[in-house]
């Protein structure tokens, strides 16, 4: 039985601005915005929400299925997936397109400005959840709009519990569409900014939205995360990283922790704590897929942070 990860596969071009955006973006001049950022550090990474989540699930010992679309330039990414032992049964090539690409500029406060070309991702609706066999759990991560809506409906129709993770795709949906997705999902994850936007679009409070799913998870960066479930709020502290290098993909690593915990039958506190550990491990590395801890190292970080064994409920 597998975890199905629906979302984007993308190349990330990541640039580092050695200053702070707030020194250069003047609120009173926003109507004539014309800024340029000198970015001496530039690299290209393998990314995309589905790729990043599946990568960390593999580190945890899972065998996830990726459901995504790629373009004519996908050969290097496909070769990487093969080296990692990640199955590509549901990675669809869309001829005449580019693989999705993100151009990310990060400042010294870890704020990010991103330009995103969707490319093949716009055809994600060609993939169908029912084409994947033996799925016990899933996630609908940021992807093409029609693909996300379709995969939400298909998971629900198949009776497969899944996380709805609108992420940066949230502005694409109306309040009614978001409420429909929440109605069909078992769980929902957003960051603190997305949580505010979700409330604005739906006209509901966070507590009201949380009542529509079994659990609503709100990540808050260095301030930890909050899990709303059964009428209560569980506060998960952040885990101190070895160093802060790059926030790109931290949310995806966190979501991989949630998915693994759910698949293992962990309670929400343990799920959240594992997710926090993985986010802390990821932020100490550049890109979304360059952290490579062993299971033993993950368990050691969990023990050091929370004073309990991680794998005591799992077959290690």
- Would you call 107 a catalytic residue per the annotation? no
CA distances from 64 to 92, 119, 120, 148, 156 (A): 16, 24, 21, 18, 19
Determine whether 80 is exposed, middle or buried from the number of CB atoms within 10 Å of its CB (0-12, 13-18, 19+): middle
Identify whether the C-beta of residue 257 lies closer than 8 Å to the C-beta of residue 306.
Answer: no
Tokens of residue 126, six digits:
């060609």
- Residue 21, helix vs strand vs coil: helix
Say which of 72, 109, 252, 267 is annotated catalytic.
252
- 189-215 burial, b at 16+ Cβ within 10 Å, e below that, comes to bbbeebbebbbebbebebeebbebbeb
* Distance of alpha carbon 291 from alpha carbon 59, whole angstroms: 9
Distance, CA of 70 to CA of 92 (rounded, Å) = 6
Report, as residue numbers or ranges, the catalytic residues. Answer: 252
């Amino acid at each position: 039985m597998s975890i199905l990860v629906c979302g984007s596969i993308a190349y990330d071009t990541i640039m580092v601005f050695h200053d702070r955006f707030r020194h250069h973006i003047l609120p009173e001049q926003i109507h004539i915005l014309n800024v340029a950022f000198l970015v001496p550090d530039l690299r290209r990474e393998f990314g995309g929400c589905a790729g990043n989540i599946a990568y960390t699930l593999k580190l945890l010992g899972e065998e996830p299925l990726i459901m995504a679309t790629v373009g004519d330039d996908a050969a290097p990414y496909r070769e990487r997936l093969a080296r990692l032992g990640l199955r590509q049964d549901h990675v669809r090539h869309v001829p005449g397109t580019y693989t999705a690409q993100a151009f990310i500029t990060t400042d010294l406060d870890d704020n990010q400005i991103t330009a995103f070309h969707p490319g093949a991702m716009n055809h994600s609706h060609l993939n169908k959840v029912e084409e994947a066999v033996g799925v016990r759990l899933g996630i609908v991560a940021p992807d093409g709009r029609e693909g996300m809506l379709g995969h939400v409906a298909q998971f629900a129709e198949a009776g497969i519990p899944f996380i709805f993770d609108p992420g940066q795709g949230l502005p694409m949906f109306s309040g009614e569409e978001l409420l429909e997705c929440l109605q069909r999902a078992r769980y929902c994850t957003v960051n603190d900014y997305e949580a505010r936007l979700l409330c604005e679009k739906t006209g509901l409070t966070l507590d009201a939205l949380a009542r529509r799913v079994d659990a609503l998870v709100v990540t808050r960066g260095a301030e930890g995360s909050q899990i709303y479930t059964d009428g209560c709020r569980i506060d998960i502290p952040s885990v101190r990283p070895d160093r802060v290098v790059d926030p790109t993909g931290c949310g995806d690593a966190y979501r991989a922790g949630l998915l693994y915990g759910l698949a293992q039958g962990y309670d929400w506190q343990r799920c959240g704590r594992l997710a926090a550990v993985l986010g802390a491990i990821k932020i100490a590395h550049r890109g979304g897929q360059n952290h490579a801890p062993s299971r033993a190292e993950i368990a050691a970080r969990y023990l050091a942070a929370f004073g309990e064994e991680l794998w005591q409920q799992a077959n290690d």
